[in-house]
Amino acid sequence: MANKYDLIVIGSGPGGYVAAIRASQLGKKVAVVEKAEIGGICLNWGCIPTKALLKSASVFEYISHAENYGITVKDSKADFGGMIKRSRGVADTMSKGVQFLLKKNKIDQLLGFGKVAANKTVTVTADGKTESYAADNIIIATGGRSRELPNLPIDGKKIIGYREAMSLPKQPKKMVIVGSGAIGVEFAYFYNSIGTEVTIVEYMPNIVPVEDEDISKQLLRSFKKQGMNIMTEAEVTSVDTKGTGCKVTVKTKKGEEQIECDIVLSAVGVSTNIEGIGLEDVGVMTDRGKIVVDDYYKTNIPGIYAIGDIVHGPALAHVSSAEAIICVEKMCGESPEPLDYGNIPGCTYCTPEIASVGMTEKAAKEAGYEIKVGKFPFSASGKAQAGGNSEGFVKVIFDAKYGEWLGCHLIGAGVTDMIAEAVVARKLETTGHEIMKAIHPHPTMSEAIKDAVEDAYGEAIHL
């Protein structure tokens, strides 16, 4: 049969294309089904283009504060359209890169809407025409989209999701952002830095509520210093879009408040793309909007697997890629370890950046650990001071009894590039004493991790 494959992957995001390439490396005949752009949401409308926008914002901020570095720059201004254009160009370049990788690995690209059908077949519909393809194995990697609240329906014009937020036709003067997770605070930083008046509305007591409380408090201080209006323990109950702008009604502890703005960005999480892809037809089990899988991403139907945002675990690109490799290697008869979901790093790319892995201080205490906590402020870092980036700190948490590195939490310039040290160290079951004895180069931002560990063990030199 001409349309027969060893593996068909539905979705070409950071889970799907990685699964396809790894399977090809292991000698399998593979096809990828994609209904939109190759590379998926992360590459085209998520991780990559947002980082391009954030880079433009940080460059503009540097120029705006050039006098702090002994440089005079006159008449600089943010070109919103130019920033959007650059962001889309970066995404397009990366998408073409993934297309090249798929071709290099002899993976067929089937463009259209993929749907699982009986007898291990996948139907692909494009331009009103449907083709069927058979496979020994199928991986579903269809990802997610902006979650919608009942009282905050996304219309794509005045109430928008992350996709529209990175391609608006003009810069809004005022914006209300609902939700302060990674998506919310990244866009808050971007728009605020180029002159939009930004209000963040967060239902929980702290912004970035999944982070350690010390991190949340520092980001709150930083954002307020940048001029943002932050409302915590607050809820958007309605948005009136009848006029030229939006009238946002916010319920707070003090009562209701109304905010006028041009655009409302809903950043309240991600919903899974599992509707209409044939799960019910073939009997794949789901639970609360996620596909049920085992440790190696098998569903209850033999030969059908699922990875990424549509299964348990955090909806992160690097998690999807790790799941893809584990799934494919197990499928091909190898013996990969199950993914350790307790050692997944999280990164948020606002300014200051946030990076974390493992337990927060509160979670460690609630788990019954006797802990050692160390902190090192970037205000005491020579590299941070020289770079003009002294906001933030490194915080480490260790088990006092056995020295296990329970958690690492950073906020500051470039910390998303520093967190991997803690991830690898925790994977290798490294203790605090080993970190202290490992030479860290000076002057660097990364030596703050060593300094924080020294603080935890009462051996701080630079505090």
Active site residues: 442
Give the CA radius of gyration of the chain.
Answer: 24
Question: Is-contact 446 452, C-beta < 8 A?
Answer: no
User: What residues form DSSP beta bridges with 135?
Assistant: 5
- Before 443, cis peptide (omega within 30)? yes
- The widest CA-to-CA distance across the chain, in whole angstroms, is 70
Length in residues, the chain:
463
How many Å apart are CA 202 and CA 247, to the nearest integer? 17
Q: In Å, how far from its chain's centre is CA 127?
A: 33
Residue indicated by tokens 């540097």: 62
Beta-carbon contacts of 456 under 8 Å, excluding residues fewer than 6 positions away, are 372, 373, 374, 396, 397, 398, 432
∠ Cα 317 151 222 (to 5°):
55
Question: Is-contact 365 395, C-beta < 8 A?
Answer: no
Angle of the 47-64 helix axis to the 80-104 helix axis, nearest 10? 140
Coil, strand or helix: which one is 218? helix
Question: Is-contact 377 371, C-beta < 8 A?
Answer: no
Beta-carbon contacts of 57 under 8 Å, excluding residues fewer than 6 positions away, are 83, 189, 190, 193, 194, 351
Helical H runs in 65-181?
80-104, 162-165
Across 1-59, the runs of DSSP E, i.e. the strands, are: 4-10, 30-34
| Identity of the residue numbered 374 | G
Under DSSP, the state recorded for 298 is: B
| Identity of the residue numbered 243 | G
Query: What phi, psi does 290 have (nearest 5°)?
Result: -125, 150
User: What residues form DSSP beta bridges with 126?
Assistant: 129
